[in-house]
Structure 1
């Protein structure tokens, strides 16, 4: 007979059975942009647009595609975010904090929220002992704090990866929420004291969408459909809408205007709270504390 481990990190909670969740100003949908700011190693297989060369060292084709993001694509994305008054929730590899100081400076000037996103997206956050992981997380959090002047409150693992110890070790570091478990439209408390899950998305995510042949106009319509459904769902309790962006994908010239159109639509909605994942987590924690 096979023993199957049960998930101990969080409990089942149907969204229909929860207390009402309200957002500031009576907003229906809390919207944030998860902006992936990543550094990739030149000698490790990583996210690829063409698998035929992915195992080569160096892999100029795929490495160059990824490297377009911090060199060019992110600056287009920043222009669009600025145009529509949206602060990024920056999902930051600690190696990116070392290599791209101009991006860090731009984000600090715009008061972005900074989340820890592992060391590099060329290495998944896995296969570590508790002591090894504690040392790795201490280094990641310290590097990001030193670079940005802000200690991160949130975490998303590279490739949304964790170990079973990660949430508790993050709590030791003073972090309070994670994005890795994309299973809800509202935040919820984890079974780790002081830790929460905030919704992220692998569906409304440019990397997944455009790799499946989604066109620019399709992308705009998908964003509209996502927002409108969540707004309808929020008649009695607020929802979260995350939009996940990678500058080497959406930052490409022929996609930039469609991102701008999508953000223009969301920013124009009268019932939206344009916010960050930090502010969503903080508001949710205060809501729980105020409940009798």
Structure 2
């Protein structure tokens, strides 16, 4: 029996009511900052697969661990310089292992999204009751640490089950980032839930692993903005930039993030914002009209 997609309907971008961002902006821009925890005895994101199945895997674990130890602080300084608030995709285990990051984010008023418990375990293959308990634990942990319940979700490795959006709605969340198929928010067929644009293309992990250079990274970001700005003639667009502290936080790459944000911050028709604010604005101004 063939299984059809019931989570969202086909909606060509040419047949939607126009989105108007605040102050006439054409492009809403946010940074999805992946702040993650990895288990030392499980394979995960690797720079060299040759040792990925070893326990411990010093090469790859150490590469990832550069993020919370060094890279995140370099990126935070750059975001501060350009007055950009991060939308933090937060593994809840970070709360216990790296509380200094939570403190730094609270001081900067970062937005906090639930990103599972750890990026060493994908969010899949569990029954509804077990999943509900896992999601509640993740959401409650983040809420207790940050003083606010997360509004958004992105699964580890962008993973969900068929039950995930509905269970998240029960927990009070309003949007997911896992379905990277659009340049605008759109409603899911789950009451109260949206899909927001995220990206596996404008994503440092994918770009730099393919050999993209720093200057090419800056040019790609400029190209993305220019095309979305042109497309926004008939309605606002969303531009997401996905960052990982163990990738862009490397010393030799940091200045290229600085250059890219300097370019974006200088654009007159951009809204430098968070994914939370995009979801709230869309819900209030577009969904209420339809």
TM class, shorter-length? over 0.9
Q: 1:5 maps to which residue?
A: 3
Q: Matched residue of 1:10: which SS?
A: coil
Quick check: 1:227–1:241 contact (8 Å CA) kept in 2? Answer: yes
Give unmatched runs, 5+ long, in structure 1.
none
Q: Distance in 1 between matches of 2:96 and 2:150?
A: 16
Give unmatched runs, 5+ long, in structure 2.
none
Cα shift readout 1:228-285 (whole Å, capped 9, x = no counterpart): 0000000110000000000000000000000100111111100000000000000000
TM-score (norm 2): 0.99
Q: Distance in 1 between matches of 2:149 and 2:54?
A: 37
RMSD: 0.7
Q: 1:235 maps to which residue?
A: 233
Q: Matched residue of 2:93: which SS?
A: helix
Q: Distance in 1 between matches of 2:230 and 2:96?
A: 43
Q: 1:280 maps to which residue?
A: 278
Cα shift readout 1:176-224 (whole Å, capped 9, x = no counterpart): 0000000000000000000000100000000000000000000000000
TM-score (norm 1): 0.98
Q: Does 1:85 align with 2:80?
A: no
Quick check: 1:98–1:147 contact (8 Å CA) kept in 2? Answer: no
Cα shift readout 1:107-131 (whole Å, capped 9, x = no counterpart): 0011111000000000000010000
Q: Does 1:160 align with 2:161?
A: no
Q: 1:262 maps to which residue?
A: 260
Q: 1:36 maps to which residue?
A: 34
Q: Distance in 2 between matches of 1:139 and 1:9?
A: 24
CA offset at residue 289 of structure 1? Answer: 4.4
Q: 2:94 maps to which residue?
A: 96
CA offset at residue 286 of structure 1? Answer: 0.3
Cα shift readout 1:141-192 (whole Å, capped 9, x = no counterpart): 0000011111000000000000000000000100000000000000000000
Q: Distance in 1 between matches of 2:250 and 2:173?
A: 33
Q: 2:52 maps to which residue?
A: 54
Quick check: 2:17–2:286 contact (8 Å CA) kept in 1? Answer: no
CA offset at residue 4 of structure 1? Answer: 1.5
Count of matched residue positions in the alignment of Structure 1 and Structure 2: 290
